[in-house]
Amino acid sequence: MAPQAPKPKNAERSISWFKRFQYDKERDSPSDARNVLLVIATLIAAVTFQAGVNPPGGVWQDDGDKENPHVAGRAIYASQISPYYVFLLSNTLALSASILVITSLTYRFPFHFEIWVATASMMITYASAIFAVTPRTSVRFRYLLITAVVPFVTRFLIQMLKKFRKSKKRAWSHKLSACDQEVDGQTGQRHPLTLRNPERSISWFKRFQYDKERDSPSDARNVLLVIATLIASVTFQAGVNPPGGVWQDEGGGKEFHAPGSAIYASRKSPYYVFLLSNTLAFSASLLVITSLTYRFPFHFEIWVATASMMITYASAIFAVTPRDSVRFRFILITAVVPFVARFLIQMLKKFRKGKKRAWSNKLSACDQEVDGQTGQRV
């Protein structure tokens, strides 16, 4: 018998690196996959948000003339209409898809309401920033709105298609079960008829939801802190450097402006929307950070840093906003809203728990009274 040739080293590489690192639900826990997806989606959301607020190429610092018409505060890149269109559509699609991932995978997390508020406000801030730096003649804004909705509509249609296919499989399963019983009655033997690839009992949405029995609090907390920190950083930056930049000189006449004030502030209503939504996202993310770092080592320093960061943000807003453009008390109220909302939610939960406890005590008292009258345990 001829001796077998020795196996070459590393001959066991039957699985390529691509397949090896793919998600395998039998090997990888849902929490690990979810946490990685959330970190990736948050990073994408942060950089695309920043790209929309401060477009590539910068903005015009002054108004143009008849030969070179342009408006101060508008994107220089917008003079190239087609490339700028591609930039806006692709950037908006990336931001919208990443926010869909964040909102879907943080459902039922602790503080998921604050995360949803922050991401929704972040999306409004992004839209307001795009409105600030984009000339009306360059872009049809309805196309941007359609692009932002595409990931949500696509995911909805995919889920509806999956439900339709599951219901169709269920109908076929019932038909096969009826045929199985009929065959058993005629032959007197068991002939099970089954479908290949039986339907998955748990959808991806439920599989990746936070489950306090399965997921460790530390993993969920760490991911939420990453999301909240990145949202806080980009919204802070947007407040300090508003979209459209600031005036470099002093203007006169009807359109008076002071140097250092936001060019966007000349359009009061859109600028109001930008400030309120950006402040709401920033405040909600700081609430998550301060709440989840409580009793951490150095949590006092973290609280001091976040409080100082909030004061810095307020000072920056005060610096770039003309006094006649905004009522600052409305911005202050917006900043307080997430904290008040969380306080009310906690009070409501305590009230409901107290009510349940009172009903439980009443039922226990009635139980003891019935036991005393009947002499039996009821």
DSSP 246: B
pLDDT at 308: 96
For residues 193 and 373, the model is more confident at: 373
Instruction: Give the model confidence (pLDDT) of 27-86 as tens digits.
Output: 777 778 888 888 899 999 999 999 998 999 888 877 776 666 777 888 888 888 889 889
pLDDT at 310: 93
Query: How many angstroms separate the CA atoms of 141 and 89, rounded?
Result: 10
Q: Quick check: 103 and 119 in contact, CB under 8 A?
A: yes
pLDDT at 133: 87
pLDDT at 370: 64
pLDDT at 199: 43
What does the domain layout of the chain look like in residue ranges? 28-169+217-239+261-337
pLDDT at 372: 65
Q: Quick check: 282 and 313 in contact, CB under 8 A?
A: yes
Residue 93 pLDDT grade (very low, low, confident, very high; cuts 50, 70, 90):
very high
Average pLDDT over residues 313-326: 84
Hey, what are 229's tokens? 């920190």
Average pLDDT over residues 88-106: 92
Average pLDDT over residues 215-232: 86
Residues of the chain with pLDDT > 70, as a percent, come to: 79
Query: Comparing 211-220, 352-361, 363-372, which segment has the lowest mean pLDDT?
Result: 363-372
Query: How many angstroms separate the CA atoms of 12 and 25, rounded?
Result: 23
Distances (CA, A) of 67 to 70, 162, 312: 10, 57, 41
Q: Quick check: 99 and 281 in contact, CB under 8 A?
A: no
At residue 320, what are phi and psi to the nearest 5 degrees?
-100, -5
Please name the residues in contact with 330: beta carbons below 8 A apart, sequence gap of 6 or more: 272, 276
pLDDT at 290: 92
Query: How many angstroms separate the CA atoms of 262 and 269, rounded?
Result: 14
Query: How many angstroms separate the CA atoms of 378 and 131, rounded?
Result: 69
